[in-house]
Amino acid sequence: MKHMPKSQTELAPLLVFGAHPDDIEFGCGGVIAKETQLGRAAHFVVCSRGEAGSHGSPRQRVAEAEKSAALVGATVEFIELDGDSHLEIRAAHAIKLAGIVRRIKPGIVLASSIVQNQHPDHWRVGCLIRDSARLARYGGVKELRKLLSHAIEQLLFYAVTPQAEPSDITPVLIDVSAPQIIAAWTAAMQAHACQTSVRRYVELQISRARVSGLRAGVDHAIALFPNDPLVLDSLAPLSRGARRF
């Protein structure tokens, strides 16, 4: 019933899941850059090599993702589920992902949002991670017995596109205005050159962060969507609200 002391929880690594090599950076790269600068370790798990995309070979996509993750200070691994654009909701996937949760032992987990009107793989990764974050906690799952069970503290969703923003969860806005953060984020997005050379992803994400930032009274902010209510010891963390206009 007791929760871990804050200092320890806050140092727990950040674990971030994405369906494709560029989803994480497009959806929340600025947040990652900020957290790693603050000293938190971040690890990316990418669930395909982007092989169904219109542009870029899997080999290129992986190389870009590795370069991009490094630019925001994160490590990255690639796993195979069903392949790009072939992802299905399977218990075996959730269990496999729960194994990664047990291995990394994160405090906070990020995943693409569960809104279904977006790329078919995006919301499925979100749903699988939501399931896997529970499975990681259950002691009797036989495939996972070699790893200690682990309870994460919070699951947050990021939205790769505007329509992926859940309308039934109040967002939290993370201030990413510092020039070096914006620079790192932008560089990480541009590292996905196969994609950004043909579509205006960078401009989309920076415009979105600009709108959220102006709303929050800062230059740029990224909206994240908590899967569960926040638990707080006092009102202090609530002392800024997005109410500038």
Minimum separation from the CB atom of position 214 to a second copy (A): 5
Give the whole-angstrom CA distance, residue 36 versus residue 70: 11
75 binds a second copy per the rule CB under 8 A: no
Give the whole-angstrom CA distance, residue 129 versus residue 211: 28
Query: Do residues 174 and 218 lie in contact, with contact meaning Cβ atoms separated by under 8 Å?
Result: no
Query: Which stretch in 67-75, 185-193, 232-240 sits in contact with a second copy by CB under 8 A?
Result: 232-240
Minimum separation from the CB atom of position 106 to a second copy (A): 10
Quick one: which of 102, 100, 103 has its CA closest to 150?
A: 102
Write out the binding residues for a second copy, residues 30-69 only, by CB under 8 A: 31, 34-35, 38, 40, 50-55
Minimum separation from the CB atom of position 112 to a second copy (A): 13
5 binds a second copy per the rule CB under 8 A: no
Write out the binding residues for a second copy, residues 90-109 only, by CB under 8 A: 90-91, 94-95, 107-108
Nearer to a second copy, 16 or 45 (CB): 16
Nearer to a second copy, 139 or 179 (CB): 139
Minimum separation from the CB atom of position 77 to a second copy (A): 21
Query: Do residues 61 and 21 lie in contact, with contact meaning Cβ atoms separated by under 8 Å?
Result: yes
Query: Do residues 160 and 128 lie in contact, with contact meaning Cβ atoms separated by under 8 Å?
Result: no
140 binds a second copy per the rule CB under 8 A: yes
Size of the site for a second copy (CB under 8 A): 108
What distances in angstroms separate CA 35 from CA 10, 28, 61, one per listed residue?
10, 11, 24
Site map 163..202 versus a second copy, x via CB under 8 A: x---xxxxxxxxx-----------------------xx--
Minimum separation from the CB atom of position 104 to a second copy (A): 15
Q: Of residues 65, 141, 188, 189, which one binds a second copy by CB under 8 A?
A: 141
Q: Is 230 exposed, middle or buried (0-12, 13-18, 19+ CB in 10 A)?
A: exposed
Give the whole-angstrom CA distance, residue 128 versus residue 88: 9
The answer for residues whose C-beta is within 8 angstroms of residue 149's C-beta and 6 or more apart is 102, 136, 137, 138, 139
Nearer to a second copy, 120 or 197 (CB): 120
The answer for residues whose C-beta is within 8 angstroms of residue 144's C-beta and 6 or more apart is 95, 98, 99, 102, 135, 136
Give the whole-angstrom CA distance, residue 145 versus residue 23: 31
Minimum separation from the CB atom of position 155 to a second copy (A): 7
Write out the binding residues for a second copy, residues 110-139 only, by CB under 8 A: 114, 116-120, 127, 130-131, 133-135, 137-139
